[in-house]
Amino acid sequence: MTVRERSIDYAFKLLFVSVLLIFSAGAASAQRQLGVRPTESGGPLMPEQAAYDVKSYDLALMVNPVEQSIRGMLTVEARIVHPTAWFVLDLDEPLKVEAVSDVFQDTRPMPMQFERRGGKIWIAFPMTKQPGAEVRLRVQYQGKPRVAPRPPWVGGFVWSQTPSGAPWVGVACQNDGADIWWPCKDHPSDEPEKMWLHITVPQPLIVAANGKLQSVVKNPDNTQTFNWFISTPINNYDVSINMAPYRAVEGQFKSITGENVPVFFYAIPEDYEKAQALFPQFLEYLHFLEERLGPYPFRADKIGVAETTYLGMEHQTITAYGNQFKLNAYGFDGLLFHEIGHEWWGNLVTASDWRDMWLHEGFQSYMDALYAGQMKGEEGYRQYLAGIRRGIGNFQPVAPRESRSTTQIYFRAPDYVNSDGDIYSKGAWILHSLRYLIGDKAFFTALRRMAYPNPAMEKIEDGSQCRFATTDDFRRIAEEASGMKLDWFFEVYLRQPALPRLVTETSGNQLVLRWETPNGLPFPMPVEVQLGAKTERRAMPNNTATIPLQPGQVPTIDGNKRILMAE
């Protein structure tokens, strides 16, 4: 990304006072300018991939920045859960498969037959594998991976240079899927329990990646191999590598659990002092998130940030950061806060299907608003929400019941070219409205229980604290916390796109309020009505309420903007 493009992105952020609107506006701009769209990731899971459960990945990769090429070897361990004659992995078509081997036994690898069918590798078992069988397969591949035309929205490898001319390389693939650079089961419902990364680059480049650094091996050919180990489950798209002559700002974060967690902020040499200056505020972000949501989930590995040439992405334990160390109008780095918050919303709690992607983006966008309130008080919170309100389009349900791919949920139908920011901004406003409905105590209890369903889980760091979740899971948690039935709330706000409309009519000495909803859906959302100096919360059974008025009284309805409704 050029300096001019990065400045435009930041200007967008100031204009809309929201990271989410940069993401959605930038994605739409990328599609229009480049005429491209991301490759599909997720969606309905094919039977041959539903037939196995990935246990681990081990990726050895040599990266050549000069030729912009890679050569890799991926070993996958899996357990068969349904009878199958095939083992199907995803791999982007520009990458060539050289060999596939069975390496289950400690003997010489046994070659296996395979076919390339578009972006998939169909590996044939000699005989049908039965449930309970363990497999260990190795894929050797190489080529020039897809170059990201506009990361992170349209992803791939990012080949760039630092101001001094050194290679500066990264990869982003949330919308496109990890198969654009390594063979995998490209679906959010199946995370490996652990993963190894062995990344070889020319000296003196540093590789910042997920997990914990085990060793660095200098090779005779003037390259060096960085061996990283990820000890907890990880989303495929969160696996990332960043290469540059990094300098790391190092420190410790004292978690609310009492543990000291190592922190690394990898910056290019030219920005090292800026990273040092931002580091203390970064730790404050972590404290705030822990207080609201529970302990940082990946204490077993590290807290990591890597400076990138693109805006950002929530890569687990190695957050991509490209906001040029700029603070927003509320006095904090909105991009860094947003991305590090995804360690909870997205990495700890993961949507099992992309139809529930708002659990990542809407929840974290709401945390952004809360932090604006932390910095600027209640007025800052409201201003932040008012800023992102403009991004709501209501083109499709925020959380449809049908399976969705990343492209389908992130971009608008029918052409899937223009971005749809509702999983960000509308998702945040839905949470804001829920908070009003059930009250602060129940709401913040539900938020924390969504992150950690019970307090005992907050002490766990071996990976079993990570979980898949759905929109209905959150509904049940909110119902338990509040003691209220909330199916009507979720049905109107999340399962269909149109917003409720509040119709007001004054007749003589009465004010009549009526909710209009698609297909007459029930929506007994109470409404705040101010009459003179008194503000009352009026119940709306059967979607209506009648309020007596004194002569000359002019009511103010929902003056504090607590309810998401059609304007």
For helices 358-389 and 425-438, give the axis angle rounded to 10 degrees: 90
CB hemisphere CA count around 136 (13 angstroms): 9
Mean pLDDT, to the nearest integer, of 195-219? 98
Tens digit of pLDDT for each residue in 271-284? 999 999 999 999 99
Backbone angles phi, psi at 530, to 5 degrees: -105, 125
Query: Does residue 543 carry a pLDDT above 70?
Result: yes
Looking at the domain assignment, is residue 536 inside a domain? yes
Looking at the domain assignment, is residue 395 inside a domain? no
Amino acid 26: pLDDT: 43
Amino acid 550: pLDDT: 85
Distances (CA, A) of 318 to 170, 364, 379: 12, 17, 33
Average pLDDT, the chain: 92
For helices 487-494 and 471-482, give the axis angle rounded to 10 degrees: 140
Looking at the domain assignment, is residue 521 inside a domain? yes
- Domain ranges, residue 525: 501-557
Looking at the domain assignment, is residue 367 inside a domain? no
Please say whether the beta carbons of 392 and 426 come within 8 A: yes
Q: Please state, in angstroms and rounded to a whole number, the distance separating the CA atoms of residues 426 and 241.
A: 32
Please say whether the beta carbons of 202 and 167 come within 8 A: yes
Query: Does residue 377 carry a pLDDT above 60?
Result: yes
Distances (CA, A) of 493 to 290, 441, 450, 502: 28, 22, 19, 14
Looking at the domain assignment, is residue 378 inside a domain? no
- List CB contacts of 58: < 8 A, sequence separation 6 or more: 74, 75, 76, 195, 196, 198
Categorize the per-residue pLDDT at 38 as very low, low, confident or very high, splitting at 50, 70 and 90.
Answer: low
Please say whether the beta carbons of 159 and 68 come within 8 A: yes
Looking at the domain assignment, is residue 517 inside a domain? yes
Query: Does residue 165 carry a pLDDT above 90?
Result: yes
User: Does residue 318 sit in helix, strand or coil?
Assistant: coil
Please say whether the beta carbons of 515 and 479 come within 8 A: no
Query: Does residue 17 carry a pLDDT above 70?
Result: no
Query: Does residue 37 carry a pLDDT above 90?
Result: no
Amino acid 133: pLDDT: 97
- Pairing mode, strands 96-102 and 527-531: unpaired
Query: Does residue 36 carry a pLDDT above 80?
Result: no
Which tops the pLDDT comparison, 19 or 74? 74
Q: Please state, in angstroms and rounded to a whole number, the distance separating the CA atoms of residues 71 and 61.
A: 6
User: Does residue 527 sit in helix, strand or coil?
Assistant: strand
Q: Which residue in 372, 490, 360 sits closest to 430, CA to CA? A: 490
pTM of the model: 0.92
Amino acid 10: pLDDT: 33
Mean pLDDT, to the nearest integer, of 192-209? 98
Which tops the pLDDT comparison, 19 or 297? 297
Per the structure, the count of domains in the chain is: 1
Looking at the domain assignment, is residue 263 inside a domain? no
Looking at the domain assignment, is residue 265 inside a domain? no
Q: Please state, in angstroms and rounded to a whole number, the distance separating the CA atoms of residues 511 and 554.
A: 10
Categorize the per-residue pLDDT at 108 as very low, low, confident or very high, splitting at 50, 70 and 90.
Answer: confident
